[in-house]
């Protein structure tokens, strides 16, 4: 079976959503769920913090077309991940933490766990 590269597994619309979210989320996190080596779901949790310091608006109209500086790091973390999640935490518009949870499927052998119950 041919191993797919991350570029083949990351659909353009997935990369577009990741790029857009990295440029627009000020506080929150992104959760990318991977199954069979493909990103199948992205959850975006965004928090809005209201303070006297924040004079700018909360809605970003013009998202830069350029790649975000952390996109290549995110792609590298997704490389080789077959099952699991990648959680990207964003604080004050900056990526603060990337957490990778990998799940591995283990085939059970017959007779070990009392089959036939």
Whether residue 6 has pLDDT greater than 60: no
Question: What is the pLDDT confidence band of residue 35, given thresholds at 50, 70 and 90?
Answer: very high
Return the structure tokens found at 89: 């935490």
Question: What is the pLDDT confidence band of residue 117, given thresholds at 50, 70 and 90?
Answer: very low
For the chain, the 3-state helix, strand and coil shares in percent, each to the nearest 5, are: 20, 30, 50
pLDDT digits (tens, 9 = 90+) for 9-34: 688 899 889 989 998 898 999 999 99
Provide the pLDDT for residue 5.
52
Whether residue 60 has pLDDT greater than 50: yes
Question: What is the pLDDT confidence band of residue 50, given thresholds at 50, 70 and 90?
Answer: confident
Closest residue by Cα to residue 59 from 30, 26, 101, 91: 26
For the entire predicted model, the pTM comes to: 0.74
Return the structure tokens found at 1: 């079976």
- Strand-pair category, 84-91 with 38-47: unpaired
Question: What is the pLDDT confidence band of residue 112, given thresholds at 50, 70 and 90?
Answer: low
pLDDT digits (tens, 9 = 90+) for 96-111: 999 999 998 677 555 5
């Amino acid at each position: 079976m041919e191993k797919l590269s991350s570029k083949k597994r990351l659909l353009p619309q997935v990369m577009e959503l990741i790029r857009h979210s990295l440029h627009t989320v000020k506080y929150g996190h992104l959760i990318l769920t991977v199954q069979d080596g493909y990103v199948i779901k992205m959850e975006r949790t965004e928090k809005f913090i209201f303070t006297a310091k924040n004079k700018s608006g909360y809605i970003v109209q013009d998202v830069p077309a350029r790649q975000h500086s952390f996109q290549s790091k995110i792609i590298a973390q997704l490389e080789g991940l077959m099952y699991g999640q990648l959680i990207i935490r964003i604080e004050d518009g900056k990526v603060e933490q990337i957490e990778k949870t990998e799940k591995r499927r283990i085939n059970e052998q017959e007779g070990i766990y009392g089959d036939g119950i």
